[in-house]
Amino acid sequence: MREPSDASAGDKLLIFGHHSCGVKANKSHSISSNMSRKAKQKLVDKTTKFSEPTDDIESEIIEIYAQYTAAVDGEDLEDEALQLDLTIEQLPAFLGELHIPPRFIEDILRDFEAYNHYVKTTGSSVVTSETAETNAFVKARETVENFIIPDTRIVDMDKLIAQTTRLLKMRNHKEYIYTNWKMVIDTVVTETNKMESVLRPKVDLATLHSEDYEKMELNLKDLRTLKAYLKLGDKFQDVALIDMISLFANGKAHISIKDFGEIIGLLGELD
């Protein structure tokens, strides 16, 4: 199914608002001021509910966790010594049980695989040299450490709930994330297509399908194009949102739909 553009030349995008359509440019409540307040509030208030589970989310996580850690049939279920541990090797299957969209967990699964492969191959999680493989392992280890008890292969329940909660909130708001992501992509593509000295081929939005949007990523030039379209100034509060996206990327070359979803979550849009 083809996805027509939701953005028109006379509209400004309400990227982090509670609407899935454009806001006319002549509105007195401009997108710049709206986004600036949200971004500024996020920078001032360091607390977030993004990792705090709702009762339904916590129950869903615990129910599946129990399936992996239940005592052997016929044993005393109250005897904690008989309870099994959830391990790193089981995490991909565990996440699969939660039906999280692939785009939101593919990087995590890739890191799990890289971590397990390195440890199995070398017999250690200690890095003694710097190579492309060990650098990839260090990144993978950071992801794994967000889920496990230090210096073990056992999953930490509190960490699991915190990390999985973020993924489930994005899963539950997939359409909201996708709609806003599509508007951003449409805007960047439309504005980029207008430039006379564009080196890359122009993109016909009418040919894009939903899976195309999910695969697309934004680079720094795209963010500058978006900033110019939104007519943000150089004041701290005006550029806070764009700076936040850049800081969130933490040196990454591109922003994916998952990165975008986490930004929305950190701004409180998924609670």
Is residue 59 assigned to a domain?
A: yes
pLDDT band at residue 22 under the 50/70/90 scheme: very low
Please give the pLDDT value at position 49.
Answer: 82
163 and 178 belong to one structural domain: no
CA–CA dist 212, 42 (Å, integer): 31
pLDDT band (50, 70, 90) for residue 176:
very high
Q: In the structure encoding, which two tokens stand for residue 99, read together?
A: 């039906």
Q: Considering only CA atoms, which of 248, 245, 182 is closest in space to residue 216?
A: 182
Q: How many domains does the chain have?
A: 2
Position 51 pLDDT exceeds 60: yes
* Residue pLDDT, tens place only, 102-137: 999 999 999 999 999 888 888 888 887 788 888 888
pLDDT at 80 over 90: no
pLDDT above 50: residue 55: yes
Q: Is 271 a domain residue? A: no
- Residues 121 and 199 placed together within one structural domain of the fold: no
Phi/psi of residue 249, nearest 5 degrees: -65, -25
- What digits encode the pLDDT tens for the residues 26-50? 332 333 344 445 544 544 443 468 8
Residue 73 scores a pLDDT above 70:
no
51 vs 70, more confident: 51
Mean pLDDT is lowest, of 3-17, 27-41, 204-218, for 3-17
Are residue 60 and residue 148 in the same domain, yes or no? Answer: yes
Residues ≥6 apart with Cβ < 8 Å to 177: 170, 257, 260, 261, 264
Query: Does 233 lie in the same domain as 189?
Result: yes
Find the domain containing 218 and state its range: 11-49+174-266
φ, ψ for residue 35, nearest 5 deg: -65, -35
Task: With beta carbons less than 8 A apart as the criterion, state whether 192 and 205 touch.
Answer: no
Same domain, 132 and 100: yes
Which residue would you say has higher pLDDT here, 271 or 168?
Answer: 168
**Domain end point (choices 137, 172, 207):** 172
Residues 198 and 218 in one domain: yes
R_g of the chain, CA atoms, integer Å:
22
Q: pLDDT averaged over the chain?
A: 75
